[in-house]
Amino acid sequence: MRDSTTVLMFCALVLLPGLFGNSAEAQWLSMHEDATLTTYTERSELIQMDRFVNVAEMLDYKRKLRNEEGHIFHSAVIKAQYNCLDNLVRIYTIEFFEEPMARGTLVNTQKIYGPWKAINPRSVEQQLKNFSCTGKK
């Protein structure tokens, strides 16, 4: 009985955190940078489902901002879904963090479940969609 308890403790303490990593542990891949922010995606967060891909994208701002609810943040992680065939995107969650690179306190979470929207062909979002659907930058 003691051995099975030890194995369960090992799984809980060592294996589970690796399976359910958080944003601070993510390995973000830079996709675009401009004067106000750097946009990243997380390759290990790409979940392909037929013609759809669920993704995690991070917006890492050069300075702190305030959202509509008044929360001050320095970075945001967006969970979105791309329709690879029809060039559409919808956002379902945005998490705001007080520090750069999705670190520090999670200051606000917004569950959106927005409608499908067309992607501008010359946008950063198009680059993110192409990478998410093909795995190539």
pLDDT (tens digit, 9 = 90+) per residue, 108-137? 999 988 899 999 999 999 999 999 888 777
Can you give the pLDDT at residue 136?
77
**Termini Cα distance of the chain:** 51
Q: List domains and CATH numbers for the chain.
A: 22-134 (2.40.128.710)
Mean pLDDT of the chain: 83
- Whether the predicted model's global pTM rises above the 0.85 cut: no
- Which residues, 6+ apart, have CB-to-CB distance to 105 below 8 Å? 97, 98, 99
Contact 23, 95 (CB under 8 A): yes
Decide which of 4 and 121 is more confident.
121
Helix H, strand E, coil C: the string for 36-88 is: CEEEEEEHHHCEEECCEEEEEEEEEEEEEEECCCCCEEEEEEEEEEEECCCCE
Mean pLDDT across the stretch 14-35? 64
